[in-house]
Structure 1
Amino acid sequence: MDALQSKAAFDQAEQHFRNNEFDAALQILNQLNRAFPGNKDVLYPMAQCMANSNRPDDARKTCDFLVQRFDHPGAKKLLTQLQSPPNLLADLGLGNLDSGPSFGAGLKNAPLESAGRFEEATPYLLSVGIFIGAYVQYFLVMSQFDTESYLEELVESIRNPVVPTSDLTPLFRLILSGFVFNYTIGCFVSYFALKTVSTLLHDDFADDMKDVALYTLFCLLLVFIPVLGWIAAIVIVRNHYELSGRKTVLLVIVWFVYKGVSTFLLELPLGLAA
């Protein structure tokens, strides 16, 4: 999207905003935000639209970012309005939540510019780094662990208590390493599965990954409970992401397919190394 296209799109969003068509304006602004991420002249109108379309939590998050990053005066004002008592907001009316001429004023003087490439890529680079780190440590632990010999020794010690049991430290290290590895895979698998069925809650990779990471950890702990744990995990995910029954089934199928394929591909080097 070039400067002329972005200006035309923004003018269209502003017209929707003036007509109190906040959802339509927000849809266009979301497209602009994807093309020019981190731009205050897009984020602030987005916050205005969110505030006026009964999405105060999203508006607050956007305003918080604008205040912290740019010390944005309009975001400060809007944040103050959003923190007012509910009855006061009702008296103000939806269309009066900072819907004045400040809508995207920065675009009148300069074309849109996206955030720096490195800054934009930071969440992705960080996620890839975490994944590589988890995989490398798991690979190293697995390659140094002689599973067959350890199991034989463990079985022998159970059959014959006189035989001393070997040090359990390598086993605990393997369990911990495996948990971290599977949790990391689970986060990425869950993210892409949710993205496939279009049920992610945010329009931001970092926010979505934080949300997915939290619920993946919770569900991973639940699945240690046979049957009931799996059912509880599915119910929690369904309620959190507001999934229909059909989408829930589709999500579970997609998740297991992605998990199976990714596990096979990642375990393949371990088999070759052995």
Structure 2
Amino acid sequence: MEKGEAEFYFHEADRLFKEGHYLEALQHLSVLEGEFPGNFNILFPMALCCEQLGRTDEAYERCARMFEQFTSEKQQEKLRGLFSRVCRQQQAGKGIGGQVPAPFPAHEFIEDTPKHTELNRTGTMALGSWDIPWPSILMGLAVLAVFFLLLAGLTYFVRQGAAAQNPHAVYWGMALLALAQFMLTCIIAYAVLWVMNKLLHEELIRDAVDVCIAMFIASLISGFLPFIGFFVAIYYLAKHYEMGFGEAIIFLLLQAAFNMLFLYMMLPLIFGETALDLMQML
């Protein structure tokens, strides 16, 4: 589940809670709890919903588990308030077969909206998700086909310009070369981020656009800041894709490995003898 979808579920749960639809709010929170387990900002509102639904035994058990799991003073203070209410309701024999109003429920719930929630972006090294929809596969193949056609056109224009000394052909060749280099950078970056499970949107088009923009900005930084520009660009990409120092190093190493595989394995396989010219240009 991506960040925007998680925030939508939170806002819906908050709205339903304020309107008194506690069961529906609990259902929304249960979906989030399955995606982001062990999150106080999800578990505490779920206990509030159980209290409002009269499920005092369930609310009691949830509070008891959270007391053991979450130890910060702010979290413990919130839990003590809810726990004391639930205990009083149990002792008074309330909360059976009806809803029990809690003091200031909206205030307690609204403090735990999505902006305070840490989404579970582990970034572990996994081979992405093999559950790829067919439209995404076809779109990816189309992009690769366009890229290889671009490389074929590049060799043609470079050879024509060199043979006939045609400046227009040379200019076209230079433009195609710049475009091919940028496309290769974006394709490799996308592949590496997919392998590292670091793509932000989990949708091919949105992620592809995001990678292209990020790599364009990184290329500009590298071009305008000699020497240190490369490191500034890497720092920008690490921040943008929420990578730590170790993950940034892995990102660079994988980029280099993928680039070598493409140049020395895929190009000779597809272009044969002309692959050497392409390797020198790229």
**TM-score after normalising by structure 1:** 0.50
**Larger-gyration structure (1/2):** 2
TM-score by length of 2: 0.49
